[in-house]
Amino acid sequence: MRQSMRRRQIKWTIIVFVLLAGVLYIGRIPYDQILRDEVRTRHTQLMKTADILTREKLRDLIQDVHRLAQKTAITEYLEAPTIVRRSIMQRALIDTSNAYARYARIRYIDRTGMEQLRVNYAPHGAYSVASTALQDKSQSDYVREGMALEPGEMYLSPMALNVEHGRLERPLKPTLRLVRRVANSQGEPRGMLVLNYSADQLLARLRALFPELDRPMLLNRDGYWLLSPNADDAWGWLLERPHNTLKEQRPALWEKIQASPNGMAEIDGDLYSYARLNIGEFDAPTPVPRTRERQAGDIATNIGTDTDTDTDTDTDTGTDSATAAGPAAASAGASVQPVSTPDPWIMLVQTRYAQWHVGAAYLRPWFRAFVVGLFVMAAMLVYYVIAAREQRRLAREAERRQLAEFKDLYDNAPIGYVTLAASGMITNVNHALLASLGRQRDELLSGYYLTDLVSDESRPVLNNLLYSLGEGEHMQCRLDMRCNNGDLLTVLCSVSSLLSAYNTLMVGRCSVQDISQQVALEQSLERLAYSDPLTRLANRRYFDELASREIQRLQREGGTLTALALDIDHFKAVNDSCGHDAGDEVLKSLADICHSRLRGSDILARFGGEEFTILLPGANAEEGRVKAETLRRTLANAPVFPADGDAIHYTVSIGVAVLEWPDEAQLPALLKQADRALYQAKQSGRNRVCVAE
């Protein structure tokens, strides 16, 4: 039985595969034609867009030149070329260069071909070239073409690479020049404006129009590449690669291009579409350029003869167009028409065989796997349906058990849990939190927000916690929650969230743990860590921390720091005669009196036993001595009255030391000096103040 089923499965699998292969083979012919048509339609639309983009870009450049020629600073200079007006015109060229940021150079050249002004654009901004660096450009092709123009006419140079000192500049910089003849108000030619446009911007925009499947190319009339997917093919006539032309590499395609201005071709399985970009045709009333075409061989010859002293371009190739209008019409922006229609650039798009049918379904691995596995899937369909139904039933039972367990765990957890909607409203709460707050479930589920349960001081912290829910973050913080009787309960809240597929908050979860005993213990430990338990003064550890802060402040602001070392005279005799309880009362009395006589900025600490230390920020030696004398007299006249004994009179000895240049490393030395002064006071008879040398 199993062998028979296996044989039938193999037989029908082979039959289905053969049938599908036959259908695919028969259907491939019209299917491939559909793919070709899609590619050609895409080519046509993209090349139309490229043509519009190119003409609009050139129209903008031409308008830039006309606007620049009409600036008051330039027209006034043409009327009377004084030094002042030359400076104003120079400023106008710099402002124009900065405003457009697409012209590598803007120049004014006089009737003899000599540069009078030149502004270069750099990443940090435009700047004017010094007069000593200006050059004679009368032998440059674009200048000779500009000399032949009438005032107001324009010349658009061919596209070429930038040349400096007779060598092509690296990296290569494609450039277009726009030349406009300018005249004074009487129509007398004065010179020309020359704007160097960085054509790599235009080429980059053309390249960006096309998807990765297509290979856009731009050629001049001789078939040389201006834009090519292979960088080594471009600018062949300038890079000493004269055979890098479409005519040499694809002669059949070149013949088709020469036969018709627009068309399509399929060569060696690759699809080609081509069209001529009419760069010299512009809609009136936009001023348009006059074209002067130059042969590629002539241009290549000029590379070594026409150079600038900086990154200037003196050799160009391509096609150009110009306007034939008088100076008055040109300056006023009137409608002008092209003198001649230039040979356009050739836009060529190639889609290789491996690319134009790369999306074909019959090449997809999943399609082949589908054909091979189709019958196997059909044979196993019943089995999978039955198995899937049983799995769904078991999954539903497991889900019900899991939900019941989760609900029991949620409701009876030893810590509080609260569930929030996206708005922050409470949607569920467990028994532990209700018991801690003394509230009822129905009360909290009747429109309460979690912010309603915390104190005003904790609300900003809770708002930050709730904000983290929407960000999908896990955070925790301490809050004071209000119980039903008005008491505050310190709790530790931890939040987590459930976000939708669009990263929006769906459900917020918050755990609440009572840590009031922990907080009380922490506060008690903090007091023990930083204060003396008997006198409530700072202990040695806290004194070092406060002294370090004070020294850092004095290091920034300057000043002095005075230390007082204070010791009770014959304190052991007080303990021996009156008892340790009376001695404790003496210590507390001394701490209270000293604290009341000190400033808020002074630091008072008990170092142990009957030893006390005082820091007086900003006090000099005399001020420290006066303060020490005041404390000594006050303590000598302030007896202590224990509860079960006679009044206890005591005195203190005080040592004073001063640190004039606070340095944290010198603090131990300062305290030692104060101790030495204290020892001197003890040796001198006690109940006195001594100042360290």
Q: pLDDT tens, 560-592?
A: 889 999 999 988 888 888 888 888 888 888 889
Select from 520, 553, 574 the last residue of a domain: 520
- Within 8 A by CB and 6+ apart from 648, the residues are 574, 578, 582, 585, 586, 639, 640, 641, 642
Which of these, 322, 348, 316, 319, lies nearest to 336 by C-alpha position?
A: 322
Task: Identify whether 637 is part of a domain.
Answer: yes
Most confident listed range (511-515, 519-523, 686-690): 686-690
> Is 449 in the same domain as 569?
no
- Same domain for 262 and 119: yes
Within 10 angstroms of residue 667's Cβ, the number of other Cβ atoms is 19
What is the model's pTM? 0.47
**Same domain for 515 and 555:** no
Boundary of a domain, candidates 520, 555, 586 = 520
The mean predicted confidence, pLDDT, of the chain is 79
Report whether 322 contacts 169 (CB < 8 A). Answer: no
Mean of pLDDT values over 538-559: 83
pLDDT at 159 over 60: yes
Calculate the alpha carbon distances from 50 to 5, 54, 301, 340, 363 in Å: 62, 6, 31, 22, 32
**Cβ contact 142:289 at 8 Å:** no
Burial of residue 123 (CB within 10 Å: 0-12, 13-18, 19+) is exposed
CATH code assigned at 681: 3.30.70.270
3-class SS at 137? Answer: coil
Residue 21 within any structural domain of the chain: no
Render pLDDT for 83-99 as a digit per residue (tens, 0 to 9).
999 999 999 999 999 99
Q: What digits encode the pLDDT tens for the residues 367-422?
A: 777 766 665 565 565 445 444 556 787 788 888 888 888 777 777 777 787 887 87
Alpha helices in 260-364 (DSSP H): 296-302, 327-332, 353-356
Kindly state whether residue 5 falls inside one of the protein's structural domains.
no
Check if the beta carbon of residue 129 is closer than 8 Å to that of residue 198.
Answer: no
Q: At residue 512, does pLDDT exceed 90?
A: no
Mark whether 580 and 687 lie in a shared domain.
Answer: yes
Find the length of the chain. Answer: 693
Res. 164: pLDDT tops 50: yes
**Whether residue 440 is found in the same domain as residue 544:** no
Residue 171 inside a domain? The answer is: yes
* Residue 219 and residue 192 in one domain: yes
Q: What is the pLDDT of residues 468-511, one digit of tens each?
A: 776 666 677 777 888 888 888 777 777 777 776 666 666 677 77
Amino acid 217: pLDDT:
93
Q: What is the pLDDT of residue 687?
A: 92
What is the count of structural domains for the chain? 3
User: Could you tell me if 505 and 555 lie in one domain?
Assistant: no
Domain termination site, one of 339, 354, 369: 354
Alpha helices in 273-380 (DSSP H): 296-302, 327-332, 353-356, 365-379
Report the CATH number at residue 321: 3.30.450.20
Domain assignment present for residue 505? The answer is yes
* Statement to judge: residues 82 and 198 lie in one domain: yes
- Whether omega before 285 lies within 30 degrees of 0, making that bond cis, reads yes
CA distances, 657 to each of 46, 159, 556, 608, 633 (Å): 88, 85, 21, 20, 19
pLDDT of 114 higher than 80: yes
List, for residues 324-382, the tens digit of each pLDDT value: 333 333 333 333 433 334 557 899 999 998 888 777 777 778 777 776 666 556 556 54
Indicate if the pLDDT at residue 306 is higher than 50: no
List, for residues 618-635, the tens digit of each pLDDT value. 889 899 899 999 999 999
State the DSSP string of 74-136: HHHHHH---HHHHHHHHHHHHHHHHHH--EEEEEEEETTSBEEEEEEEETTEEEEPPGGG--B
Name the amino acid, one letter, at 100.
Answer: Y
**Is 217 a member of any domain?**
yes
Query: Which run of H or E residues covers position 622?
Result: helix 621-636
In contact, 283 and 132? CB cutoff 8 Å: no
310 confidence band (pLDDT: 50, 70, 90): very low
Domain that holds residue 309: 52-354
pLDDT at 43: 92
**Are both 560 and 680 inside the same structural domain?**
yes
324 and 417 share one domain? no
Q: Same domain, yes or no, for 329 and 469?
A: no
- Sign of the Cα torsion 302, 308, 310, 315 reads negative
- Considering the domain boundaries, does residue 230 fall inside one? yes
Residue 18 lies in a domain: no
My answer on whether 451 and 594 are in the same domain is no
